[in-house]
Amino acid sequence: MDDQGSGPLKSIADLARLAGVSVSTVSRALTGKGALNKGTRARIQALADHHGFRMNVAAQNLRLGRTGAIAVLMPLGHARGQQLSDPFFLTMLGYLADALTDRGYDLLLSRVLPDRDDWLDTFIRTGRTDGVIVIGQSDQGAALARAAASYRPLVVWGEQVRGDGPVTVGTDNEAGGRLAAQHLVDRGRRTLAFFGDVGVPEFAARHVGFLAGLPPELRDDVVLVTSPVTSEASEATARDWFAAGNRPDGIFAASDVVALSLIAAAQQQGLQVPQDISIVGFDDIPLARLTRPALSTIRQDIEMGAHHLVDLLVRRIGGEDAGSVQIAPELLVRESS
């Protein structure tokens, strides 16, 4: 190395001294903002990356009055055993990480235990990030609406609520439910059931769409089974339900995880899928196409969802009044129906 023996460069002041210019010149050179002689800019930049110098992002952000980070809040609740195993979250996280990086933001991940109902306000007030993305509103609609009322850079993945809820990005869950209904009817199924917790807005919309997509004579006989979202619990629920003698010929599950549990439980009861019973899920998790039988499902476009979430958030940070977005779902027919 041909360092001048003055040690590592800790700040733009060091670099300025080395280059024989002032700190503001270095600042202009490295940020690319402000007018500056082409030559000096190039010279300073060359010097900078020759020494592997990087500006202190924290100081930069402090000066600019921002944090440079976006929080992604998820119910990663292993303690409470929620969707921890749901591959949906990780997929979403991957796409969000990309989209945020492209915009120059860091991704601050925070796990949330919504025990106290002011968890969101508390987080926001710390001012650790320039914006917040919440994945899955679950039953936290009230907390989200309250926070959204006074904090604009907040976007939520989930079902769009009427009234003054937060800005959301999500699949058109009702349309998804209708797709499932029409498909099961096409398959000649008549005795139908819905598995899911309609206390969760997303699932409620899927249920509504499912009923709406059915011919009137079938609609009233649809059984609604309130099922938990985790694999373990939903499988237990399904097992008990089949053991009680229930024998529908078509089931629409609120999520793929629930659908897979249903298949497992049905097979344990000696039922053939799809011969005896058609099962359709929702999400299209990677595993859906690998099980035997492969799962028919309503696909959510997670990549597009992540893209919209970030786009919306960035625009709201910029002061725009960007509104909610719905994404069209898609029916994937595989073996389970």
Partner DNA sequence: CTGTTAGCGCGTTCAG
Partner DNA sequence: CTGAACGCGCTAACAG
Q: Rule CB under 8 A: which residues touch a second copy?
A: 52, 54, 56-59, 61-62, 67, 69, 72, 76-78, 84-87, 89-91, 93-95, 97-98, 101, 106-111, 125-128, 231-232, 235, 260-261, 264, 267-268, 285-287, 289-292, 303
25 is an interface residue for DNA by CB under 7 A: yes
- Beta partners for residue 71, in sequence order: 108, 132
Which amino acid is it at 101? Answer: T
268 is an interface residue for DNA by CB under 7 A: no
**Degrees (nearest 5) of the Cα angle 53, 55, 59?**
150
**What burial letters (b/e) apply to 148-183, b meaning 16+ CB within 10 Å?**
beebbbbbbbbbbbeeebbbbbbbbbbbbbbbbbeb
Closer to DNA by Cβ: residue 60 or 182: 60
Closer to DNA by Cβ: residue 54 or 289: 54
Taking a C-beta distance cutoff of 8 angstroms, is the pair 331, 175 a contact?
A: no
Helix pair 12-19, 23-31: axis angle to 10 deg:
110
Scanning 4-12, 175-183, 205-213, 289-297 for contacts with DNA by CB under 7 A, the matching segment is 4-12
45 is an interface residue for DNA by CB under 7 A: no
101 is an interface residue for DNA by CB under 7 A: no
User: In angstroms, rounded to a whole number, what is the distance separating the alpha carbons of residues 168 and 94?
Assistant: 19
Closer to a second copy by Cβ: residue 134 or 214: 134
Smallest gap from residue 122 Cβ to DNA (A): 16
- Residues binding DNA (CB under 7 A): 10-13, 20-25, 27-28, 30-31, 33-41, 55-56, 59-60, 62-65
